[in-house]
Amino acid sequence: DQQVKQNSPSLSVQEGRISILNCDYTNSMFDYFLWYKKYPAEGPTFLISISSIKDKNEDGRFTVFLNKSAKHLSLHIVPSQPGDSAVYFCAASGETSYDKVIFGPGTSLSVIP
Amino acid sequence: GAGVSQTPSNKVTEKGKYVELRCDPISGHTALYWYRQSLGQGPEFLIYFQGTGAADDSGLPNDRFFAVRPEGSVSTLKIQRTERGDSAVYLCASSRSSAGGYTFGSGTRLTVV
């Protein structure tokens, strides 16, 4: 049973436009949410995170929104750049700082020049 | 080193053989995690070490899988009597705390033929 879901396997966006990647989760005990980015033949790299006490966190072109009542989060990238083309994983963890992180299946983003 | 190092980068083994996968975490990172990623899926949690001890091994699929971290730094994931279904990319990550996200290595691609 998947606890973290990313229902769009792929997404194509024009360069300069906004990319919106969506994620849903089922476990209400998750306390911390993260986004990772992965290029081929490399390990995932941490991108941005948000605590369950917040509803928005912004870092440069990347913003993560959290809607706890809907158990939904999204990652906005604006403006999108060709170098953003990668697989994006939504992930969630529990209450302690070392809790294991549960990953979604990923969304492959293609930014078209 | 500057990042998480995993060796070998690729391993091809025959069904039924024993394999060892090595992970060198970032110096000073006390937490070390093993994940497995199959094609088209997100990383799947296997085991987490805090120091030398396995704090959570709930993700190990069966008793053919075992991991050690005898001195609290380098870790070895051991797979006995390999099966074709064990073929995947095995990812190692280390962390000071999950609040900042893990740092992943590039993974070991294991192919069982």
Give the nearest partner residue to B98 out of A6, A36, A93, using CB atoms.
A93
Indicate the residue of A41, A100, A105 with minimum beta-carbon distance to B106. A41
**What per-residue confidence (pLDDT) applies to A49?**
92
> What residues of chain B lie within 8 A of the CB of A105, using their CB?
40-42
Average pLDDT over residues B18-27: 97
Query: pLDDT class for B28, splitting at 50, 70, 90?
Result: confident
Which residue of A lies nearest to B31 if distances are taken between CA atoms?
A: A98
Question: Average pLDDT over chain B, rounded to whole?
Answer: 93
Give the pLDDT band (50/70/90) at residue B25: very high
Q: Is A88 on the interface with B (CB under 8 A)?
A: no
A91 touches chain B (CB under 8 A): yes
How far is it, in rounded angstroms, from Cα A48 to Cα A63? 8
Q: What is the pLDDT of residues B30-55, one digit of tens each?
A: 889 999 999 889 999 999 998 898 88
Count the Cβ atoms, other than its own, within 10 Å of residue B18: 11
Q: Can you tell me the distance from the alpha carbon of A46 to that of A35, in angstroms, rounded to the nearest whole number?
A: 6
Q: What is the pLDDT of residues B95-110, one digit of tens each?
A: 876 455 789 999 999 9
β-pair type (B75-79, B19-24): antiparallel
Specify the pLDDT at position B2. 77
Residue ranges of chain B whose CB lies within 8 Å of a chain A CB: 4, 31, 33, 35, 40-45, 48, 50, 55-56, 59, 91, 93, 95, 97-107
Considering only CB atoms, B101 lies closest to which of A9, A42, A46, namely A46
Residue pair A44/B43 in contact (Cβ under 8 Å)? The answer is yes
Q: What is the pLDDT along chain A (113 residues), one digit of tens a residue?
A: 789 999 999 999 999 999 999 999 998 889 899 999 999 989 999 999 999 999 999 999 999 999 999 999 999 999 999 999 999 999 998 866 567 889 999 999 999 99
Q: Is A111 helix (H, G, I), strand (E, B) or coil?
A: strand
Which residues does B63 contact at the CB level (< 8 Å), separation at least 6? none
> Is the CB of B55 less than 8 angstroms away from the CB of A91?
no
pLDDT at res. B107:
97
Record the tokens describing residue A56, joined without a space.
């928005």
| DSSP single-letter state for residue B86 | G
- Phi then psi for residue A104, to 5 deg, are -80, 175
- Using the beta-carbon criterion (under 8 Å), do B107 and A102 form an inter-chain contact? no
Supply the pLDDT for residue B100.
58
Output B29 or B82, whichever has higher pLDDT. Answer: B82
Query: Is A104 an 8 Å CB contact of chain B?
Result: yes
